[in-house]
Amino acid sequence: MKNLFDPALAVELTARLEGLRPDSPRLWGKMNAPQAVAHCSAGFEWALGDTRPPRMFVGRIIGGFVKRMALGNDDPFRQNSPTAPGLVVADERELATERTRLRGLIARFSAAGPAGCTTHPHGFFGRLTPDEWAVLMYKHVDHHLRQFGA
């Protein structure tokens, strides 16, 4: 399964990230490109343990079931999938700044490998293994790059 412990996939996502423009038209969703990049960075901060999300009530009920569906294959995430409240980016952002931030977080996550992943539960999915975090991080960034045709 594709995951960000594979250095080649980290390079691939970083290269695709360069294809985004501040005015890249979105194919779905509400965020613009700089907001989506900031949103992806916030997800990496969860995975690396820089921030700790609260557990969502609905996640406690269905998170494990959805986790198996979302992370158990190489299928991309569905368009218009719901966003965890802690990852919503509604203010305006500068793409160059956010791109640099995300590029650094991708590199840090990939280089740290399994030992760099948090043991704190994901806000929706609950406990994730390092491999599940790596799959989730790849799929999440891929989802938002596809959102803007990159």
Sorted by where each begins, the domain ranges of the chain are: 7-19+29-147
Tokens of 147: 């959102």
The distance of Cα 85 from the centroid of its chain, to the nearest Å, equals 14
Residue 60's H or E segment, with its range, is helix 57-71
Amino acid at 43: G
pTM of this structure:
0.95
Question: Cα–Cα distance between 150 and 129 in angstroms, integer?
Answer: 28
Question: Cα–Cα distance between 91 and 20 in angstroms, integer?
Answer: 18
The pLDDT averaged over each successive group of 10 residues in the chain (150 residues) is 97 97 96 98 98 90 91 94 90 98 98 97 95 98 97
